[in-house]
Amino acid sequence: MKAYLSRRYHFSASHRLHTEAYDDARNREIYGKCNNPHGHGHNYIVQVTFSGQVDPVTGMIFDLAELDAFAQTSLIDRFAHTNLNALDCFANHVSTTENLSIEVHRIFAGFPAAHLEKVHIEETSNNSFEYAGDAKLLRGTL
C-alpha cells in the first residue's frame, strides 16, 4: 500500500538576487528591492513530500528520526544562518527560491528510505515555490 508523507523544516538565510549577465541598472529593474547590495533575509519553510510502501509491521513508510537526521546534516546545517550567495551551489546560479527548490530537491532525492515526490518552499507568506524534479536538471547539480 503506497502512502505519502510530508515533513516541514525551517531555516533562516539571506541572499541577494543579482546576475553578472546584467549591469547594475538592469539587475535593479529585474530584481527590485531584492537586489539590495547588502542582501536581505527570509525565514524559509521547506516541506518535503515522500511516497513509499507502508511497512505492515511498523505501519510507517519510514522512521521520521532518520529523515530528521538527514535534514539536519544535509539541509539545516548547510543553509541555516548563511548567505546563500556564498554557497558553492549558487556560485554560477542566482540564489532565487526557484533555484533553492531545485537544490533542496537534489539533496532530498538522496534520502534512501523513500521516493521524493516534491519540494515546497515558502519564502514569504505570499511567495511559495514547488519543484517535483526534472531528469535533465537532476543529472548535474545546480
**Residues 47-94 pLDDT 10s:** 999 999 999 999 999 999 999 999 999 999 999 999 999 999 999 999
Using one digit for the tens of pLDDT, what is the confidence trace for 6-27?
999 999 999 999 999 999 999 9
Concerning whether 81 is annotated as a catalytic residue, the answer is yes
The closest of 86, 134, 96 to 78, measured between CA atoms, is 86
Pick the CATH number of 2-136 from 3.40.50.10320, 3.10.20.90, 3.40.50.12280, 3.30.479.10: 3.30.479.10
Concerning whether 66 is annotated as a catalytic residue, the answer is no
Question: Of these residues, 10, 29, 66, 81, which one is catalytic?
Answer: 81
pTM over 0.95: no
Question: Of these residues, 42, 89, 105, 123, which one is catalytic?
Answer: 123
Of the chain, the percentage scoring pLDDT greater than 90 comes to 93
All three cell numbers of 128: 511559495
Question: Of these residues, 15, 34, 66, 117, which one is catalytic?
Answer: 34
pLDDT at res. 2:
93
DSSP strand E in the chain: where? Answer: 2-15, 40-53, 115-122, 128-131
Concerning whether 15 is annotated as a catalytic residue, the answer is no
Q: For 119-133, what is the mean pLDDT?
A: 96
Residue 135 predicted with pLDDT over 60: no
